[in-house]
Chains A and B, each alone.
Chain A
Amino acid sequence: MTQFIDIAALDDIPPQGARVVKTPVGCIAVFRTADDQLFALDDRCPHKGGPLSEGIVHGTSVTCPLHAWVFDLNTGQAQGADDGQVRTYAVRSEAGRVLLDAAFLARRSAA
């Protein structure tokens, strides 16, 4: 079940940039593309744990700042020859606010 919660104003996130949301399961990076699409992924590169939120956002991809792995923001899948996947979360914008699906928190507390 999805459960969207308001985490920030859209303008808090720079276009072609990201901001971090702290959660009990680790940090989540919320990305905003040049054309205002939003994506949320674990803020941890599966390679060496680099903070993806600090990567350069290009198109709907982000390049990890530590060793330049490139991830597709849609799927969290590493691109090119690199192999790895980052967990993704549902996120959307509504009336200038950013809403993140926090179902993962509920699952955790139910467990």
Chain B
Amino acid sequence: MSEPLLQVKDLEVYYGVIQALKGISFHVNKGEIVSLIGANGAGKTTTLHTVTGLLRPKHGSIVYDGKDLTKVHPHKIVSMGLAHVPEGRRIFQNLSVYDNLLLGAYTKNDKAKINDQMEQVFEQFPRLKERRRQLAGTLSGGEQQMLAMGRALLSDPEMIVMDEPSMGLSPLLVSEIFEIIKTFREAGKTVLLVEQNAKKAMTVSDRVYVLETGSILTEGNAADLVNDERIKKAYLGE
């Protein structure tokens, strides 16, 4: 088997003296959708922030595409093909939808290619096209999530990490978001998904890691874990 696209080993992250990650290891193979599930405060966001350089680990390694990300400047990571759709969307509220998407392509210089990507995103999210001149802050929650995903797509990523994309959305929209995640797989992208909605996450994932208070509790194929009694009780509400 070939090297995983993302390989995280013994990751320890602190906020001051508080240890948020207690030496976690996981990997994501090329073309996979892998979910990281766990309760509020388990350390999911911390993990993703450390992977894309917003936080630095005290210990451990993050190897993406053969390169150690812990030694890369955070603003250089997106140009390596790794895009991050952050928790709470974090779109630029005071900028137009179009400017937000352009910022997604900030590391790109080929204007024709950017326009191409922009057209593709508009095709996938027609609502964004209609509203491209509007301030992003005026969009609804679902539209903002789509903008956050579209913005990530404009960097033409090989891998996307997503932090609770379904948070705060109506059930209908949640289903729509997961449909979109499936299209990422069809487009050949690799996905690391963080979700509290474990049930939904498992339906789209190949493999799942369960995170509890900074440690990985268990891992396995999504198909196996949905039938695991412990997981059912704790995370699937059955």
Partners in one complex: no
The residues of B with any CB-CB pair to A shorter than 8 Å are none
